[in-house]
Structure 1
């Protein structure tokens, strides 16, 4: 500070003197006063800062003390027998959370509101018949609970930086019974939200237009047994949303028009045993959606019109044993992977009718078709890769490709085993590659019903025709290549015999070769 004052006073220009004259003495006095004034200002600044901190701490203590007093009053209102008083307590707690002086105090208010919802509750569907008093009590309690849900929703709709926004906080709805409630437009952008073990048993619970963009939201082991739960138009763009081991046993759950564009949405080990689950026109464009080990045993699951254009969607080891699962009109386009590897199709109906395979990869590797019906009728295979390699077609299943068009891309049935059931191709092969190389036809019925081959390559190289019935009913060979090179067993009926000319582009196994025309 001495040297700084020296510079400010231009004291460095002073010349050394053997005797101090009046001018030099005056400069030294100015320097001394400057140093003292600077030190005084610094001390004043430190004192003011400390006083401000003390005042702020005091204000925070006063605000916390007032908050605690109001909090105690509001919580006591929640325990009142009167529904009107409880409603007042709910609004008081919400207002306290809005004005809480710290994040921790706001979280405490939120925790109490969530705990109120977790209290034992009997839904209207479980009330005794003709019990007017029980119905009156239920309606009053339901009004209070639905008000809590509405107030939570209102705060979660506010932008993140709004001073009343409750985003990035934690919400614990574990085991809560929902018989209605509106969370539409809520933004779950951080924190942890748990609906684990929640019961959705009646009424309508709406997540319409909700945004899941961060944090963790869990519906683990939640039970959807009645009413309607609506996620229509919801956006899953980040974080983790977990429906693992959830049970869909009644009512309607709708993800119609939802967008899955990031993060992880998990349904692994979920059970679809009744009711309707609707993913129609949903868009899967990024992130991962996991249906691995899911069981579809009854009810209807509809993916009609959905778009798979960039994400990873996993149905690995899923079991289709009784439900109706619709992929009608879905689009599999550029990028992304949809896998049904090792899935078991043993009952019910699964439809891919009018699906468009125009990019990306769809795999049924090692899937087992042992019952029920799987249809790809009027599907279009134009680009990308579709894998049925090592798949097993057995039991009483029916798999159809009626009026399907194979015009591009690559479809693999390599090493597939056709040992029972019925597989029918009433299709047009105009481009791309369809591989049946090393497939084994040992039982059941495989029919190529009026197929048209006029482009691309259909490859039966080294396939084995050892049993069952494989027929080519009135095939048309006008272009492309169809090869049975290296195939073993008897030639399927419908192919040219040794006494008939071989159409251009058809290559038969050596033992099946007809005479030249």
Structure 2
């Protein structure tokens, strides 16, 4: 019997309301408990008044009315407390029902938004973007999931060339809208609907322009193997965590001007193609900076006035093919700046006005067929 009652009383996992004991069990138990409690209170009150009456001179008999009044008052107070607990429990049950209804509604909204994102018509997909963004604002418990869906959309195959066989009419506007929605939610970190604390995975994503300028990324940001076309802006953005651009490809301009990288930055094996204008002017790097094995093809790379405060800046085994790399007035407060085994083919690297404090710049086994100038303490290798 006891085991059966306990099983009925336990609520299955995932439910918002517990299973309750049947009334035919609870009612008799309640009456028995109330009678026992009243009997205990009556005898306790009787003993108290009897002792008080015996201490009087001359001794007086116990006034039963006083005993009954005290017992009834105590029972009334206990009853009021129990009634308050019962009302509180009813409130919790009502809140559980409301929470369940809200969760069901939010799940339906999620399903609808996901279906809209997969629609053939661009206008419907746009509606899905806004619906999912609104859902993320309303559904804090699943906000990361909504963000992941938007990021996943950008990771899907995309042909930016309007004359390409796989190009979809209106797809570029849908993607630009996603980028704008994300950027708008990264502007005010203290806003209740801000997405700054969340993670963004843009692995293999295709960016046909767009801007994340002045955004605040406090989680991890992954853009490895991403493809960038047109002009993409990260100017004056703040990255509090690690950022991964490894193996990304830039085919247009990219603006990192006055950006703050407070974690490690990975641009290893990244490719900057012909005509790419890369602006790191005034950028602040506080962690390790890795451009190892990166390829710069006939573009302009500006690190002017940048500050490097991390442990190492690594351009080891990078290839500069006709590129103009400007470190003018940059400040290197890191331990090591290495261009070991780097290859400079008909390009220029400029350190005019740059300062190195407490570390060393290394060009071991680097190959030059271009020009290195502006760095007085470091002799150019043979053939420079």
- Aligned twin of 2:21: none
Distance 1:297 1:109, change over 3 A: closer
User: What is the aligned partner in structure 2 of residue 393 from structure 1?
Assistant: 381
Partner of 2:372: 375
Instruction: Summarize deviations over 1:265-300 as a string: whole Å, max 9, x none.
Output: 22233334432222122233x333233343445433
Aligned match of 2:232: 229
Where 1:49 maps in the other structure, the secondary structure is: helix
Distance 1:148 1:48, change over 3 A: same
Alpha-carbon offset, residue 12 of structure 1: 11
Question: Number of matched residues?
Answer: 340
Report the equivalent of 1:98.
137
Is 2:210 the counterpart of 1:209? no
Distance 1:277 1:344, change over 3 A: same
Structure-1 residue corresponding to 2:8? none
**CA drift at 1:161:** 4.7
Aligned residue in 1 for 2:187: 157
Q: Which has the higher strand share?
A: 1
* Inter-partner Cα distance in structure 2 for 1:125 and 1:50: 62
Measure, in 1, the Cα distance between the counterparts of 2:102 and 2:81: 31
1:141 aligned to 2:142? no
After TM superposition, give the deviation of residue 325 of structure 1 in Å: 1.9
- What residue number does 2:247 align with? 245
1:51-101 CA distance string (max 9 Å, x none): 11211111122223333444444444444444434433433333333333x
* Residues 196 and 219, structure 1, Cα contact 8 Å, conserved in 2: yes
**Is the Cα–Cα contact under 8 Å of residues 151 and 202 in structure 2 kept in the other structure?**
no
8 Å Cα contact 1:321-1:372 kept in structure 2: no
2:95 is aligned to: 56
Q: 1:272 to 1:161 in 2, by over 3 A?
A: closer
Residues 13, 290 of structure 1: alpha-carbon distance in 2 compared, 3 angstrom cutoff: farther
Distance 1:31 1:363, change over 3 A: farther
- Is the contact made by 1:221 and 1:247 (CA closer than 8 Å) also made in structure 2? yes
CA distance in 2, matches of 1:110, 1:304: 35
TM-score normalized with structure 1 length: 0.56
1:127 equivalent to 2:158? Answer: no
Q: What's the CA shift string for 1:141-190, capped at 9, x where partnerless? A: 3333333333333333354451xx152xxxxxxxxxxxxxxxxxxxx333
Shift of 1:193: 0.7
> Which structure is higher in helix share?
2
- Residues 199 and 356 of structure 1, relative CA distance in 2, 3 Å threshold: same
Does the C-alpha gap of structure 1 residues 393 and 118 become closer, same or farther in structure 2, counting only changes over 3 Å? closer
Q: Which runs of 5+ in 2 are unaligned?
A: 1-36, 42-47
Q: For residues 413-424 of structure 1, what are the structure 2 equivalents within 5 Å?
A: none
Cα contact 1:302–1:327 (8 A) shared by 2: yes
Using a 3 Å threshold, how does the CA distance of structure 1 residues 143 and 241 change in structure 2: closer, same or farther? same
Q: Which residue of 2 aligns with 1:189?
A: 197
User: Any conservation in 1 of the 2:232–2:254 contact (CA below 8 Å)?
Assistant: yes
Alpha-carbon separation, structure 2, partners of 1:72 and 1:91: 14
**Greater alpha carbon shift after TM alignment, 44-53 vs 286-295:** 286-295
CA distance in 2 between counterparts of 1:245 and 1:115 reads 19
- Measured at CA, do residues 316 and 155 of structure 1 come closer, stay the same or move farther in structure 2, by a change above 3 Å? closer
Q: What is the CA–CA distance in structure 1 between the aligned matches of 2:319 and 2:310, rounded to whole Å? A: 22
Indicate yes or no: 2:227 matched with 1:218: no
1:377-456 alignment runs, 5 A limit: 377=374, 393-394=381-382, 396=383, 398=384
| Change beyond 3 A, Cα 1:33–1:372 | farther
Contact 1:368 1:392 in 2 (8 A): no
Instruction: Give the CA deviation at 1:209.
Output: 1.2
CA distance in structure 2 between the aligned counterparts of 1:321 and 1:148, rounded to whole angstroms? 34
More relative contact order, 1 or 2 (CA 8 Å, 6+ apart): 2
Distance 1:112 1:198, change over 3 A: closer
Tell me the equivalent position of 2:256.
Answer: 255
Q: Which consecutive unaligned segments of at least 5 residues does structure 1 have?
A: 5-10, 129-133, 168-187, 382-387, 399-517
Please give the TM-score of this superposition, normalised by the length of structure 2. 0.73
Within the alignment, does 1:65 sit opposite 2:65 as a pair?
A: no
